[in-house]
Structure 1
Amino acid sequence: MDEEYDVIVLGTGLKECILSGLLSVDGLKVLHMDRNDYYGGESTSLNLVQLWKRIRGNDKPAESLGLSKEYNVDMTPKFMMANGTLVRVLIRAGVTKYLNFKAVDGSFVYNSGKIYKVPATDVEALKSTLMGLFEKRRARKFFIYVQDYEDDDPKSHEGLDLNKVTTREVISKYGLDDNTVDFIGHALALHIDDSYLDKPAIHTIKRIKVYAESLARFRGGSPYIYPLYGLGELPQGFARLSAVYGGTYMLNKPECKVEFDADGKAFGVTSEGETAKCKKVVCDPSYLPDKVKKVGRVARAICIMSHPVPNTHDSHSVQIILPQKQLGRKSDVYVFCCSNAHNVAPKGKYIAFVSSEAETDNPETELKPGIDLLGPVDDIFFDIYDRYEPINDNEQDNCFISSSYDATTHFETTVQDVVSLYKKITGKELDLSVDLSAASAASEDA
């Protein structure tokens, strides 16, 4: 403990483990500590007995649910885009050699009381029952424009400077109706609200391209992949990576108090009477509660089922996005479902999460539209947790604090936070120019 480090990382949540691994690969001397005796923090995975204990205290799960050890229930379940930023981070760091991925079966969107496969290309637009005949043709033209668009090819821009025109202006050029805009913005571009409509269109177009490119990478019905045995494998993979590059890990370290000098700059962390010195501290919000603010709450239902989600073509793994406008809400509702296909439940059992930003104190009512899509459930838990964001000036105090995990069931917002923190810590952009064939090699479905 009484050594000096470049960085001390507190908490073994996914964001902290990714940063610890990346910083170790960069040659920094890293000490990684956690007050818990397990990896994962708020993004840990639980077996069935642990899940029951966490949410219901001393109650015991029914024997009909199967063996506890066959469950790996992620507390912040999120799928990753096959061609997305997180996969690039995994490859850049070399963590893919510790993991096996499998494609996710389905990606769906809720519209007018029903769920539909998300169309992401001109061909899928023509086949989709989500739109009428004339709207299909308009959507097809829009998707062709997106697919053909290249930054360095002015001919593909069709006279539009996407860095200046808004998404609303581009959409109006193609005459798309509100329902189509809804699924494009929320289920394809994965925006969490409608503010994107009045921002430069380039961001939305690039997000849709990533979705379509991810869909093309694997022969599945969605653009998403997910690790076998769940996300609990990811923090441990980055921990192994950090250790290979000289990082030091210490679990079950009580208190972990950050020490500050007279100028308010962090210079070390004390635990059990010993102080490890450092230049910078990286942590989740729970370690520096005075330097974060509460920005919201996430409501979620955890459901155990004995069947796939109805109307998803018997998909063993699926994401469904219920756009906010369809529900008269300010926030989208997300459905995540996984099963034995990814080794997270016994054969014949399915784990579904329904989540959203909480807008009331009644999660049962808020999440009902998503829960209603699941059909009968064997058991259901309701849970609400607070969401925090940092309010400190890291240049003044040398502290780099991650944001809490949001309600989304994909990694796009999570990895943006990681990339942003990496730049603040190191002063440089994270190099994400990687060979994506490494992800294919790590996937069973490549």
Structure 2
Amino acid sequence: RMQEYDIIVLGTGFKECVLSGLMSLSGKKVLHIDRNPFYGGESASISPLEELYKKFKVPGPAKSMRPGKEWNIDLIPKFFLANGESLVSWCTLMLPGIWTSKLLMAAMSMRSSLFSFFLTHNRRFRKLLLFAMNFDLRNPCTYQDVNPQKTTTRDLFSSYDLGLDVMEFTGHAIALHSSESYLDQPCVETIRRIRLYAESLSRHNSSPYIYPVYGLGELPQGFARLSAEYGGTFLLNKAVDEIVMENGKVTAVKSEGKLFHCKQLICDPSYVPNRVRRVGRAIRAICLLNHPVKNTHDASSCQIIIPQAQVNRKSDIYISVVSYAHNVTCDGMYIATVSTTAETSNPEKEVQPALELLEPIMQKSVKPLSLSLHCYDGRKSQIFVSRSYDATNHCEAECEDIKDLYQRITGAELSIYNDIF
């Protein structure tokens, strides 16, 4: 009997599972296939620990790191801003049973200055923050002689006479820009990001970030369960033999000899290598530690950002740290992941400044990854391909990709930010 679906989704990464859940919620008949025996794809959390060692082809873990079943290691760690209007907080409403979240403490590497320090001791920074918090794009009375669509961020910072340290902190640790190009762009986006950070911090005081216990792999599984609740079908550990096309449009997916018909197809780049182009490389180093990171006040979790200007690079270097406090390691252990956009033929050397902050390292696994972008928007072929996960350790780009995919698939906008912006 012919099996007909509205949408087939290939790959169970975070973005694919969010879209699968949304499509099932809207009444679409969804089939979800993954070649792997586990959920998450490239964004999976690997467990037990022995599986990570097998993946990177290194000898098994030391006895002090066992039991391995207590480890859940994110292949691509991402922190989430906690603001109530963000995509992730919206997800918590959809998945209340899955989304038990822990707070993360934000830390700024190579700087003792944190948000609270600037807020307390820097009058000019306080004025900028107050301006951002009162800013309303719909109300020109809040602009204070700033044209948000024409005034650059560089000019905005100059008008508050911010020093270089404060500019770096604001642009990279608060607004989460990954390079200096934002300085010469209209300031409206930076204002939005400053506001988002401040509102996220105000929700919990100690940190603007949230992170799911048991690792990020819980998110794809949560949305998979949501999709299944509304009729979605999942097939794991199934090879995809062929994507069947007719007159330039997808009509079916062939998996292990069976034909599954569909009107639309959503997938990650690995399933359609002929429909994506390489746009660069990222590098990630997963480091297992038996100690907290130096100069973080023994924090059980933190985010460290090394601004690109401090290490003569074009892109920032990110360090994310989680631990036994989040049920992702055995007692007393930490997982620190270093990531950046590769700029040379020796990417491991590029992240050396970050690795030095983590010493001593019990086990280190370094992996360069190609970054891919779809060649076509999918409207003609009805094949919609997600972007590769970037080198940042926050989910801004992933949220934007979900919004973009949703709009192209449905023709409607997925609104996840507050309507001020």
Same fold (TM over 0.5): yes
The answer on whether the counterparts of 2:253 and 2:260 sit within 8 Å (CA) in structure 1 is yes
Question: What is the alpha-carbon distance in structure 2 between the residues aligned to residue 25 and residue 328 of structure 1?
Answer: 47
CA contact (8 A) 2:80 2:211 kept: yes
Question: Are 2:206 and 1:260 aligned?
Answer: no
| Displacement after TM superposition at 1:363 (Å) | 3.1
Alignment of 1:421-440 (within 5 A): 421-432=405-416
Aligned to 1:178: 164
User: Structure 2 CA distance, aligned partners of 1:99 and 1:4?
Assistant: 32
Displacement of 1:126 after TM fit?
4.4
Contact 1:389–1:404 (8 Å) recurs in 2: yes
Q: Among residues 221, 224, 242, which one is paired with 1:236 in the alignment?
A: 221
Distance 1:126 1:273, change over 3 A: closer
Report deviation, 1:432: 3.0
1:44-443 matched pairs, under 5 angstroms: 44-47=44-47, 48-56=49-57, 59-83=59-83, 85-91=86-92, 94-104=94-104, 106-110=105-109, 114-119=110-115, 124-127=117-120, 136-220=122-206, 222-261=207-246, 263-432=247-416
Q: What residue identity is the alignment partner of 1:12? A: T
Aligned residues: 416
Q: Secondary structure at the match of 1:171?
A: helix
Separation in structure 1 between the aligned mates of residue 377 and residue 205 of structure 2, nearest angstrom = 45
SS in 2 for 1:116: coil
User: Which residue of structure 2 aligns with residue 437 of structure 1?
Assistant: none
Provide, for residues 35-86 of structure 1, a one-character-per-residue CA deviation record: whole Å limited to 9, x for no partner: 11111101111121011000025x2111122211010000001111101633
Q: Secondary structure at the match of 2:288?
A: strand
After TM superposition, the structure 1 = structure 2 runs for residues 18-33 of structure 1, keeping only pairs within 5 Å, are: 18-33=18-33
**Aligned equivalents of 2:113, 2:6: Cα separation in 1:** 48
Maintained 8 Å contact 1:192/1:331: yes
Secondary structure of 1:246's match? coil
* Conservation of the 8 A alpha-carbon contact between 1:40 and 1:235: yes
CA distance in 1 between counterparts of 2:200 and 2:34 reads 35
Q: Deviations over 1:133-167 (max 9, x none)?
A: xxx22222212211222233433211222123221
3-state secondary structure, aligned to 1:183: helix
Question: Corresponding residue for 2:10?
Answer: 10
Question: RMSD of aligned C-alpha atoms?
Answer: 1.7
- Residue 300 of structure 1 contacts residue 354 of structure 1 at CA under 8 Å; is this kept in 2? yes
Extract unaligned runs of 5+ from structure 2: none
Q: For the residues of structure 1 that align with 2:355 and 2:375, how far apart are their CA atoms?
A: 35
Q: Tell me by how many angstroms 1:415 deviates.
A: 1.2
**Contact 1:82–1:224 (8 Å) recurs in 2:** yes
Contact conserved, 1:193 with 1:330, CA < 8 A, in 2?
yes
AA partner of residue 223 (structure 2): F
Q: CA deviation at 1:360?
A: 2.0
Alignment partners' CA distance in 2, 1:376 and 1:383: 19
Percent identity among equivalent residues?
46
User: Are the equivalent residues in 1 in contact too, given 2:81–2:200 (CA < 8 A)?
Assistant: yes
| Structure 2 contact 87–416 (Cα < 8 Å) conserved | no
Over 3 Å counting, the alpha-carbon distance change for 1:89 and 1:260 in structure 2 is: farther
Q: Is the contact made by 2:152 and 2:186 (CA closer than 8 Å) also made in structure 1?
A: yes
The answer as to whether partners of 2:172 and 2:307 remain within 8 angstroms in 1 is: yes
- In 2, distance between residues paired with 1:279 and 1:139? 52
SS in 2 for 1:209: helix
Q: 2-side partners of 1:391 and 1:239: how far apart?
A: 27
Per the TM alignment, residue 350 of structure 1 is displaced from its structure 2 partner at its CA by: 0.5
Q: Structure 1 unaligned segments of length 5 or more: list them.
A: 129-135, 435-446
Q: CA deviation at 1:256?
A: 4.3
What's the offset of the Cα at 1:89? 3.9
Tell me, what secondary structure is at the counterpart of 2:412?
Answer: coil
In 1, Cα distance between the equivalents of 2:245 and 2:164?
52
Instruction: Say which SS state the counterpart of residue 275 (structure 1) adopts.
Output: strand
> Taking structure 1 as the reference length, what is the TM-score of the superposition?
0.89
In structure 2, do the counterparts of structure 1 residues 24 and 117 end up closer, same or farther at CA, with 3 Å as the change threshold? farther
SS in 2 for 1:395: coil
State how far apart, in whole Å, the 2-side matches of 1:147 and 1:124 are.
18
The 8 Å contact of residues 300 and 363 in structure 1, kept in 2 or not, is answered as no
Return the alpha-carbon distance in structure 2 between the equivalents of residues 61 and 158 of structure 1. Answer: 58
CA distance in 1: counterparts of 2:285 and 2:25, whole angstroms: 38
Task: Work out whether residues 35 and 256 of structure 1, in 8 Å CA contact, stay in contact via their aligned partners in 2.
Answer: no
Q: TM-score, normalised by structure 2?
A: 0.95
Say whether the 8 Å CA contact 1:36–1:252 is kept in structure 2: yes
For residues 253 and 196 of structure 1, the distance between their equivalents in structure 2, rounded to whole angstroms, comes to 43
Q: Which residue pairs with 1:38 in the alignment?
A: 38
Work out the CA distance in 1 between the residues paired with 2:212 and 2:404: 24
- Whether contact under 8 Å (2:86, 2:417) holds in the other structure is no
Runs of 4+ in 1 over 4 A off after TM superposition: none
Cα deviation digits, residues 74-131 of structure 1 (max 9, x gap): 0001111101633244146x12332210111x21223xxx233531xxx642446xxx
Q: Which moved more, 1:67-76 or 1:168-177?
A: 168-177
Q: Shift of residue 378 of structure 1?
A: 1.6
